Structure 1
């Protein structure tokens, strides 16, 4: 009987296994009418105790073994599970089954022989031999899945179930193209089960890497492009691990970035590292990625800007000109000075666009500074941009700096990359200013000033704010709370050059972290202080 999807309960249901997802309970807003891969739902249900390992199907009346004896495909010759039985080469095996065997052997050669992954664990003849078993079924609402043979959280053998024709309109890719990417995707899952000693919070990495692998195997199919919408339009952490969510398929861009930047082996190295240390935490990536997780994530955020109509296939994703989606600008600024608060979750990025006027060019600089408010860590990058092939990337000093234009640019984009790996909502204040850029002998700006800090810090009832002015001029001193709201004006007037100090005694304010912002003709500086009450 053909499977159905019923709202609000979504049933991922096949003869071998049944999964129920309550859409009202989970409150997800990107529900789809099919599931690309059922493996995460199966694993999650086993972990939650709502399902047990399914018995392998017995309602099969035909099998065929691949040329290299690595795979055995099980299929029916009648009923709704039967594939198209056309046999153009008259070898007694339907062409769809023949093609499945060819594509599976191709996947084996790529992953085992070329990329060096270990073969799947033996199932000790559960399907009739030592081959990896693949069952063709009328799934209707899923491309396929890999089913583990053991219920414990341990490495295990597994078998594959694949849709028998991919004819339904709900699929993003149809026919033999869908069969190609699904054989690669699900076979890579059988390899994943070699590495898994901890099944928790690993779905995201399994699906991201399998979706990458299917494109690595069949670069011309590009099924993954259909899921980029979920990545570019959902503000989720990179390791978002909801099993029924399509975000993880679009987030395969993270794996594409890693492989294109550091080579295919980086993906296998990460899997081996996670297995060895029995962890699924993305923070463990830091020890494997050559430039570290924080720098890699910031660079990944830059790559994501060069997509869709900003595609640069030479320096960034080689498929980026095929993308129908790109990152969204969170703020757009067309004035010389700006300050605002940014909110973000772990491993997400915010994009602030700064539009330049014609009067700003090689004799100007962008002064940029970002102040974390609640303990977050950020890497901030600036892209100076004219077009996808005329750009410059600069990583901003954590203390802030003046970045010279060097030439005329249409705009700059400040990318605020949240590199924390602990769940939380983090806040920071960014400040930008376009200034004239004058260089000395050592090409250092001549017009700098500094804040010595506040003393005491923490304080109650008052603290002294100390700073140095290299030259006379107008000065404003404001206090902001941790939400970026101005709470007090301490000074607005003219000061002579020299060492200066201002005493601040909070007036009817609650205890907490406050930002002291000092603005002069030479620039703007901010320091933090803690008021105890």
Structure 2
């Protein structure tokens, strides 16, 4: 099984966890994989056929899928797993110089470290100083003396080219929060980064998983977000190692993939980008929001507080990821951009004047890099679909759009230098933004498309709304409104025969798509569910009233 297929397997398995549906083959596969990871004498010929081709960065999701679902395995499998899931019993241990960690290891045998313990201890203390004392994250909660004391425990084992390490859950200490310990490889032979440098980035990565699970929440459906944070933390703590370079081609070759379908290792540069734009505090804010919000919504809300949106920043991120490798601008965009791969654009699409329509489709929360060639001109249009609702609830959805290019600057709403103009047909329009790069120069950056007519000033989503569906952003219909934050508007909902079923005053705030508007819990005046049908909404803001329709299915 390739690395990509293995990750897709984990994604599907996690989706199964949410739906409480588990296949015997999935459980058997996890069982066999974990037996190989924890076996004392790994023989390559005995490696499971579905084992990842290359070392995986982290076993957080894999190992804890087993921990949290131990009762789903066969009784004989449970008996073996319960032994292997116990803390490893190793020959001795030491405490790091600053007293933050206890390192457990064998002095002889298969698990004996192949790197300096002195250097490992220094790396661990550096990770603590940076992540706790500098960035201000709370430390992992004390583990009630497990491992010998309340220090955070690190166990060194021969993981045999499987995972760099993993942070394993133990006792639950609240909704989605756990006491943890970490296991790391003993020499990193056969990994992208070997020896002590492999250990350094692993402890920076895994220690933050201990912070995440102990203080915030673990939600396996947002696994990508945990890995983005921890992989970026490697770069923040140990800038000189750059192990994350090995995972970047997976994203750069697949930028049209929905954000949450990435494994997170390949998107460490997203957090690097956000840190460069807004500083470290916004990343910590996202974790503070996570217990009550899905990851994409937490990202967007944190950006709202900075006066921006995921829509705008994802598009700007597209520009940054375009200018890498030989296209790097020194002193601009990513500091290490010259070491990054090139983003994959579409195959060249030929422009034929006076206009041409490009009919395409996009995944939610992704960037589409459209490459158009006209003689000596090359136009890169970075088209962003920032539909957060679908990016959470309908991750495999595809949305059609049209990008129309004209050889006359006065025809369409987007002027491109002094040669072209363009427009975008997509719905709902406010989810979309674009940048244009003409002959390697940004001519339009990070901008939304203009609207025409009052009917474009508001829309409802999700539409249709289904009571039978669990929406990741809450069971609401959101109405976009052209108003100021904090404005009070009057919401009225009518049946198709104009019978009033609901009315209230609502305060305008940021919506999940980054626009401004209000939310509606889809109930009548008696707080009961609506019947299936078409409903008309009316939103009055001072002397202006806007109306629209939405559909409800009450199966």
Fold equivalence (TM over 0.5): yes
In structure 1, runs of 5+ residues without a counterpart are 1-5, 25-29, 85-94, 242-246, 402-418, 424-533
**Does residue 192 of structure 1 match 2:212?**
yes
Give the structure 1 partner of residue 445 of structure 2.
394
Distance 1:397 1:41 in 2: 39
Moved more, 299-308 or 47-56: 47-56
- Pairwise CA distance, 1:148: 1.3
Query: What's 1:165 paired with?
Result: 187
Cα separation, partners in 2 of 1:32 and 1:147, compared to 1, 3 Å: same
Deviations 1:126-146 (A, max 9, x none): 010121100000001111011
Measured after TM superposition, the shift of residue 339 of structure 1 is: 0.5
2:114 equivalent to 1:97: no
Name the counterpart of 2:176.
Answer: 154
Cα distance in 2, alignment partners of residues 215 and 198 from structure 1: 23
1:367 to 400, 406, 421: 421
- 1:293 is aligned, of 275, 286, 310, to 310
1:44 correspondence with 2:65: yes
Call closer, same or farther: CA 1:399–1:144 in 2, change over 3 Å. same
Q: Secondary structure at the match of 1:288?
A: helix
Query: Which residue in the other structure is 1:64 paired with?
Result: 94
| 1:77, distance to aligned residue in structure 2 (A) | 1.4
Cα root mean square deviation, aligned: 3.4
Name the SS for the 1:157 alignment partner.
Answer: strand
CA distance in 2, matches of 1:48, 1:326: 38
1:32-81: CA deviation from partner (whole Å, max 9, x where unpaired): 33221111112233344457776543531110001111100000112211
User: What pairs with 1:15-414 in structure 2 (closer than 5 Å)?
Assistant: 15=38, 31-49=52-70, 50=72, 55-84=85-114, 96-140=116-160, 141-150=162-171, 153-167=175-189, 169=190, 171-234=191-254, 235-240=256-261, 247-275=263-291, 277=292, 279-289=293-303, 290=306, 291-336=308-353, 337-357=355-375, 364-372=418-426, 377-386=431-440, 390-399=441-450
User: Equivalents in 2 of 1:329, 1:215: separation in Å?
Assistant: 30
Question: Residue deviations 1:334-384, cap 9 Å, x none?
Answer: 433220211111111111223355799999342111111578831122123
Deviations 1:281-308 (A, max 9, x none): 4123221112111111111112111112
Aligned length: 370
Kindly indicate whether the alpha-carbon contact (under 8 Å) linking 1:185 and 1:211 is maintained by their aligned counterparts in 2.
yes
Q: How big is the shift at 1:254?
A: 1.5
Instruction: Identify if the C-alpha distance between structure 1 residues 23 and 357 changes in structure 2 by more than 3 Å, giving closer, same or farther.
Output: same
Are the structure 2 counterparts of residues 396 and 82 from structure 1 closer, same or farther at C-alpha, using a change threshold of 3 Å?
closer
2: CA distance, partners of 1:137 / 1:221: 22
Are the counterparts in 2 of residues 200 and 280 from structure 1 also a CA contact under 8 Å? no
Contact 1:313 1:319 in 2 (8 A): no
Work out the CA distance in 2 between the residues paired with 1:240 and 1:153: 25
* Displacement after TM superposition at 1:311 (Å): 1.8
Which of these two proteins has the greater Rg computed from alpha carbons?
1
Q: Which has the higher helix share?
A: 2
Hey, what's the Cα distance between the residues in 2 that align with 1:272 and 1:313?
Answer: 35
> What do residues 80-128 of structure 1 show as CA deviations (whole Å, max 9, x unaligned)?
11113xxxxxxxxxx6222211100000011111111111111011010
TM-score normalized by the length of structure 2: 0.60
Name the structure where strand makes up a greater proportion of residues: 1
